[in-house]
Amino acid sequence: MENSSFAVVDIETTGLSRHRDRITEFSGVILRWNDSSKRYDTLNELSTLINPGIRIPAFITHLTGITNNMVKDAPAFGDVASDIREFVGDNVFVAHNATFDYNFLDFNFKDNGMDELLNDALCTCKLSRRLVPCLSSYKLGSVCNHFSIENRQAHRAMGDVLATRDVFNELYKYMKMRNIESIKDALKFQKSKIVRS
C-alpha cells in the first residue's frame, strides 16, 4: 500500500439521491506515503463550491452551513467536472461512506458525457467497523473522537476530507498489524465479516 497514492474525497450535496439531488461542494487531497513521517501526507488538494442549479433545502444549509447565496456565483459541476476527474485520476478512492461519494460523482461524470469511474475504493467507515469493532457509532465524528482527531469544520467538504485523511492514517496502523499490505488485501478485508470483541 505504501507504493500507492490515494484520493481522499468528500462531497456535500442537496440531498441523498444522486438522481434528484446535486453536488454543492467538492474537496479532495492526494496522499502519498512519507518514509520520514511514517504516514500518508498530502501532496495536492482541490476544493470548490459548486452551483447545484437547484435550491439548497434549509435543513441541508443548517447541516453544512452552505447557503444558496454562497453558491450562486460558483461554477456548475459541468464546468469543473474535468478538473475533478483529472484530480482523482487513477488513485485509490478513499472516503467515509465511500459508496455514496463514489456513486454520486460517477453519476455526475456520466451525466456530463464522461466515462464511468473505475477506481478501487476504500471506505474508512467499513474499515473502522472491522478494525475498531468497539464503537457504538461509526459516523465520521464518532471515529474521529475515538482517535482524538479534531474536525475543525464538520460537514464541510474539506473539513471532512482532512478528518478522513487522519482517520485513514490511524486505520493504516491497524492494517499493518494485521499484515494487510496491499490494496487488494485492503479491498478484500473491508468486505470481510465483522468480528465483535
Tens of pLDDT, residue by residue over 68-96, are: 999 999 999 999 999 999 999 999 999 99
**Which amino acid type is present at position 23?**
I
- The stretch 97-103 carries a mean pLDDT of 98
For residue 188, which of 132, 141, 120, 139 has the smallest C-alpha distance?
120
pLDDT for 98: 98
- The stretch 156-173 carries a mean pLDDT of 98
At 196, the pLDDT band (50, 70, 90 cuts) reads: confident
Q: How far apart are the first and last CA of the chain?
A: 26
**Is the pLDDT at 2 greater than 70, yes or no?**
yes
Which cell is 168 given? 485513514
Query: Which CATH number applies to 5-189?
Result: 3.30.420.10
Question: Exposed, middle or buried by CB within 10 Å (0-12, 13-18, 19+), for 187?
Answer: middle
| Those residues with Cβ within 8 angstroms of residue 55's Cβ, 6 or more apart along the chain or in another chain | 14, 68
Q: H-helix or E-strand containing 185? A: helix 183-189
pTM: 0.97
Neighbours of 36 (CB within 10 A): 6
Q: Are strands 5-13 and 92-95 parallel, antiparallel or unpaired?
A: parallel
| Domain residue ranges of the chain, discontinuous segments joined by + | 5-189
Report the share of the chain in percent with pLDDT over 70.
99
For residue 11, which of 100, 78, 137 has the smallest C-alpha distance?
100
- The stretch 160-164 carries a mean pLDDT of 98
Least reliable range by pLDDT among 33-47, 67-81, 102-116, 183-197: 183-197
What's the mean pLDDT when you consider all of the chain? 97
Residue 78: DSSP 8-state:
H
Q: Which 3 state secondary structure label does DSSP give 42?
A: strand
**Is the pLDDT at 197 greater than 80, yes or no?**
no
**Is the pLDDT at 121 greater than 80, yes or no?**
yes
CB 23 within 8 A of CB 13: yes
For residue 138, which of 154, 153, 148, 127 has the smallest C-alpha distance?
127
